[in-house]
Amino acid sequence: MSSSDIFIGETIGTAILILLGGGVCAAVTLKASKARNAGWLAITFGWGFAVLTAVYTSAPLSGAHLNPAVTLGIAIKDGDWSDVPVYWAGQMLGAMIGAALVWVAYYGQFHAHLTDKEIVGGPGAQDTKAKAVEAQEKGAGPVLGIFSTGPEVRVVWQNLATEVIGTTVLVLAVLTQGLNDSGKGLGTLGALITALVVVSIGLSLGGPTGYAINPARDLGPRIVHALLPLPNKGGSDWGYALIPVAGPLIGGAIAAGIYNVAFA
């Protein structure tokens, strides 16, 4: 794989991942969406299908890492770091493109949601106003969860540990079951395995933090949230932003260490 193939493949694949994954979050969250309040099952399976679609699309070009933690794990496993910057650059760009496309697809719903007094407060607002104010006091605006993750209970060590544990499971599954014959990316069966693992992590471990398990998936859309001209959007919760970046990278490194000790 050439550097240009890797960059293009990771950009396209990660954009699809965030478009479909962020899209299901928007569908469930926004007040004028037909899928509003569809629930956690819709979100977890939506993200799983997003992984499946993105991997099958980008695998022929880049091996479909789509996640800096996966790239880190494979680099540690192989001892080859030459393509890591290209992978990470494509993943970050793709994540930002995907988040911007979610905004385009749900433009009217974002506007309706963020100008609704029951969501953002104002005369006539009831208990939802208190909830919105509470979220903003924590640094998170009322639609930030569409773009990036945040904890239900803000305990730094636990939030970090949750992301480390979830990502360790993901990357270990990729390294042991999901790689193609060359070992440089996901194979055909590996795409399905990885998608199902993501669903499992979401169902079992996603409750505390929203399971970023992917630094680009969280940081890229968080930057887009900060830049977009959304009315009453509130903060981007930069005080939490390091955890869904550091936690997955630590988890990816731990998974590679486990692989090299136990499976290599």
**What's the pLDDT tens digit per position in 212-245?**
999 999 999 999 999 999 999 999 999 999 999 9
- Bridge partners (DSSP) of residue 179 are 186
Question: Taking phi first (over 0 means left), then psi (-120 to 50 degrees means alpha), and beta for anything else, what does residue 48 get?
Answer: alpha
| C-alpha–C-alpha distance, residues 179 and 190, integer Å | 6
Separation of alpha carbons 174 and 254, rounded Å: 13
Can you tell me the distance from the alpha carbon of 63 to that of 190, in angstroms, rounded to the nearest whole number? Answer: 11
Number of H helices, E strands in the chain: 12, 0
- Of the pLDDT bands very low, low, confident and very high (cuts 50, 70, 90), residue 117 is confident
- pTM for this predicted structure: 0.94
Among the listed residues 130, 129, 149, the one whose alpha carbon sits nearest the alpha carbon of residue 221: 149
Return the higher-pLDDT residue of 152 and 127: 152
Quote the pLDDT of residue 138.
Answer: 64
Which 8-state DSSP code applies to residue 59? H
Tokens coding 145: 């969860």
Question: Which of the four pLDDT bands, split at 50, 70 and 90, describes residue 125?
Answer: very low
Q: Residue 16: CB partners within 8 Å, gap ≥ 6?
A: 50, 53, 54, 57, 58, 94, 98
Q: What is the pLDDT of residues 238-262, one digit of tens each?
A: 999 999 999 999 999 999 999 999 9
Is the pLDDT reported for residue 95 higher than 70? yes
Structure tokens at 132: 């919105």
pLDDT band for 109, please (50, 70, 90 cuts): very high
Q: Name the residue with tokens 């090299």.
A: 260
